[in-house]
Amino acid sequence: MITPAGIRAKYSETERHLERLKLKVRDSLQILCDREGYALVSRLKTIESACEKVETGRYSSWVKIDDLVAFTVVVPKLTEESKVFAHLSGAFTQIELRPRGSSKKAPDTFRFDATRFIGKLVAP
């Protein structure tokens, strides 16, 4: 897929802010993960993936993309999810909670599915 110049420019302009955001979020989540013994994984969305979301119409604009920075907290049992959501609700403003099984997937595709907390930093 060819990335349009506008999306390349927006990604370039945003990337350093996303890196700083990733560090702030990691600091908060690492406290929980260290205390509870959970694994923590993070990533920044690639320019190709962000472009695909806009170009295919899944998102109407760049600002609508809700997973430019993403983290996964790996819990050993589903019964421990509530600890994670309690921490997330205290550390971030919840925008949406997408339950497991709510993702639209092709029936012939296996993708691990988990509950997703979409949030933003709490204003100081």
For residue 2, how many other CB atoms are within 10 A of its CB? 6
pLDDT digits (tens, 9 = 90+) for 30-50: 999 999 999 999 999 988 888
In angstroms, the Cα distances linking 33 to 40, 58, 91, 115 are 7, 32, 14, 17
pLDDT digits (tens, 9 = 90+) for 57-103: 888 877 888 889 999 999 999 899 999 999 999 999 999 998 776 66
Whole-structure pTM value = 0.79
Radius of gyration of the chain (CA): 16
The domains found in the chain, sorted by start residue, are 5-121 (3.30.460.10)
pLDDT band at 17 (very low <50, low <70, confident <90, very high): very high
How much is the pLDDT for 37?
A: 97
Question: From the DSSP assignment, how many helices (H) and strands (E) are in the chain?
Answer: 3, 4
